[in-house]
Amino acid sequence: MNQNHSAEIKRLQEAKNKAMKELRDANEKLEKKLKDADSQMVDSMKRIKDLSAELQDFKEASKLLIDLVDPVVVEATEERSLLSRLQEATQKLSTYVLSTVKSYVSTALGLVKAWHVDTDLAPLSSELPLDCSDEQFGQLMKDVQPVAKKIVDTVEQQG
């Protein structure tokens, strides 16, 4: 019977040792997973911080653009969010660009009239003359670019 107890005790100790080893292995795996999770969390927090800074940069750049095309009126009764103003920005930008183009074209035509008072500008509002090809017009556009640049520079200085 002693021998049976010894064999049983040995079998139980082996089972205990095996269970303890499995428990240690499982514990090591769990610790490694936790360590990896901690590392991933730190990396994710750094990424969130970087993205937050980038988002802030986008927000500031967006605000500058939006304030250019849609200035905030001090007496405005309702304050619109930056997002709603940004969503409307494409339409406002189109309006802003058209207004600017009209101003520059008016300035250029005004200069033509200042130098040549009797010039009839009405034909300019229609298409190209039949005897002027697209290639010829392209060359004319290249030829007048230095003068156009001077006009724009003058208008910018006056503004």
Domain hosting residue 145, numbered range:
82-158
pLDDT, residue 6, reads 87
Q: Is the pLDDT of residue 42 over 90?
A: yes
pLDDT, residue 44, reads 95
Residue 133 structure tokens: 């090809």
Q: Is the pLDDT of residue 150 over 90?
A: no
- Tally Cβ neighbours within 10 Å of residue 93: 15
pLDDT, residue 1, reads 65
pLDDT in tens, 100-130: 889 888 988 998 999 999 999 988 888 888 8
Q: Is the pLDDT of residue 85 over 90?
A: no
Boundary (domain end) residue, out of 63, 80, 97 = 80
Look at residues 120, 107, 114, 124 and name the one whose alpha carbon lies nearest to residue 158. 107
Boundary (domain end) residue, out of 35, 56, 80 = 80
In DSSP notation, 97-143 reads HHHHHHHHHHHHHHHHHHH-TT---GGGGS---TT--HHHHHHHHHH
Note whether 107 and 87 are within 8 A (CB). Answer: no
Q: Note whether 135 and 146 are same-domain residues.
A: yes
Q: In one letter, which amino acid is 150?
A: K
Count: domains in the chain:
2
